[in-house]
Structures are given as structure tokens and as C-alpha cells.
Amino acid sequence: MSKERDFLIFSGTNSRYLAEKICQSLGCELGKMQVDRFADGEFSVYYEESIRGKDVYLVQSTVPTSDNLMELLLMIDAAKRASAHYIVAVIPYFGWARQDRKDKPRVSIGAKLIADMLCAAGICRLITMDLHADQIQGFFNVPVDHLYASNVFSNYIQETLSMDNLVIATPDVGGTKRANSYARYLGVPMVICHKSRLKANEVAEMRIIGEVEGKDVLLIDDIVDTAGTITKAANLMLENGAKSVRAIASHAVMSDPATERVAASALSEMIFTDSIPYRKECHNVRILSVADMFAEAIKRVSCHESISSLYNI
């Protein structure tokens, strides 16, 4: 039997709510850490307890992007300088993941830059969830445990939602692989929304490939930012005769005016995980927690056990 190593869990400012739930699931205390902020916006990090020789798990989603990333980098650096034995970055939502390739001339590959920064700061491992592009795992020179929210969503779909004529849909062609995995797992058909953009965050045209009339449609996505695409797809489904439209997405970025769009849309339910704190009020938004899944992943990594059984889809 694997022997559990001595580990501590610490949290950045914006992900404390999730780190506390992870610790509750593991039956341990959240580590004590202080972030001091200066008047000009600069901040410093220090640990209020000894971490010498310990495995430390640092929980921090990188949204809003810049401050939370910088805070995480300082947490990593402080842990390294305090002689931590093993430093694991737990990043439920990995920001900059949409910048995973050169899609036009003279553009940065932000995801690769962030990977290099995290490795240079001193992480030994990364635990994350639903990267926008799977190939981002290859940007790291350390082990990456890539979890999937499908483990939480699939249980909710099968146990809570009651839909007679379920159809899985993707709001854009880029999400076809993800939606197809759900369709195969649930044994239901799939349709695709094809969209074209004039510029980022603005959909110019959208049309449906497949049949939705009389169906209960479930849209699958990884990130909802301004909610323009997902709400346009939902409204289009209803206009084409869908019986009901719901959506699930791993990360609730929900930049303004996303909440207003979701509230006014044809979506009877918009289901997110708590990888990002969603603090606004919206009658048709539901949040499912991934704390237990991350807690189990941390426990298995600590015990040198496989995490493959955590993947439903």
C-alpha cells in the first residue's frame, strides 16, 4: 500500500473558497499564508508556518488573470525559498489557455509563456481541469494531471436532469470532440452549431448542423466568457423547434454582460463548476463543486496512486 506523504494545502486570495472545500473533503486544515499589499498595488507573500521538507499544494485559478497569476508565482517562489520538498500548482482554471498557437502573424503564444513562468518559478507538478486545448499539457516540462469536469457533469446529467429526447450540442466546431465524448458516453445524438466571427467575443453568423426539433438540447462548452456564443446557440436551438435548452460549461469566466445575456436567453439552466468564483445573481445559473474531485486527485498524487479512474468521459 502506498504511503501518504506529509503535505500542506495553501490558497491564493481568489480561490480560498475552493481550497477550503478541498481541505474539508480531505479532513485537513488550510495552511496559513499572508498576502501583504502595498498602496501602489504591489504585494508580497509569506508562509506563517514551516513548510521545510513538506509537499505543498498551492490552489489558485488565474482569473482575473494578471494579479492572480502573479500571486501564484510569488507563492511558488516563497515555497521554494522556504525549502519545500515538492511544489504542486493546483490551477482549476488555467488562464491564457485560449492563446495556445499562432493563429495569425506576429502574435504571442500566451499559454506557453505562462507554462514557462510557472516552471521557472519552481513547480514540480501541475493539477488543472479542462484546458481549452489538450496540447497545452505539452508546454510543461513537469508532470501535468489534467482533470475533467465531465466527472461531475455526467453524474448531474444522469441523476438530476430528466430529459426524454436528449441531444448533445456544441456551440462551435472547436468543441466537437468534447461534445462527441459526451454523446458517445450517454448514447445520444449530437448536433453542431457552426459560427463565424468578425472579431474576438463577437459572433457574426451561426447555423445548426443536425436536427433539434422536439429535442431536449444540452450545449457543452469549456469556457463561457461574454456568453455571446452560448446564448445565441441556445436561442437558435429554440427557434428551430427544440423542446428545451440547457448548457454546461466548466469555467464561469462570465465577463460583463454575460450574466444579463444568460438571464435573458432561452437557457432554462446554465450549469458551471466552481473552478472560478461566480458571485452574481442569476436565476438560471447553477454551480456544481469540483472540490471533491480535486481533493481525491491531491490524495492520489500524494500517495503515488493512479488518477485514471477519475475520468468518466
Q: What is the pLDDT of residue 1?
A: 38
Q: Look-up: residue for cell 482533470?
A: 147
Strands 202-209 and 190-199: antiparallel
- Note the pTM of the prediction, 2 decimals: 0.92
Predicted pLDDT at 103: 84
Cβ partners under 8 Å of residue 81, min gap 6:
none
Angstrom distance (rounded) from CA 141 to CA 45: 25
Distance from C-alpha of 166 to C-alpha of 151, rounded to nearest angstrom: 19
Whether omega before 189 lies within 30 degrees of 0, making that bond cis, reads no
In the residue annotation, 102 being an active-site residue is answered as no
The parts of the chain modelled with pLDDT lower than 70 are 1-5, 65, 195-204
Question: Residue 31: left if φ>0, alpha if ψ -120 to 50, beta else—which one?
Answer: beta
Task: Please identify which of the residues 21, 195, 215, 232 carries the catalytic annotation.
Answer: 195
pLDDT digits (tens, 9 = 90+) for 65-115: 688 999 999 999 999 999 999 999 999 999 998 999 888 899 999 999 999
Residue 239: CB atoms within 10 Å: 11
Query: Residue 29's closest CA among 45, 50, 11, 8?
Result: 8
The answer to whether the CB of 275 falls within 8 A of the CB of 93 is yes
Please tell me the predicted confidence (pLDDT) of residue 2.
44
Distance CA 212, CA 215 (A): 5
Q: Which long-range contacts (CB under 8 A, 24 or more apart) does 306-311 make?
A: 307/145, 307/147, 310/147, 310/151, 311/147, 311/148, 311/150, 311/151
Angle of the 150-159 helix axis to the 176-186 helix axis, nearest 10: 40
Q: Which residue has cell 436532469?
A: 161
Alpha-carbon distance 33 to 79, whole Å?
A: 11
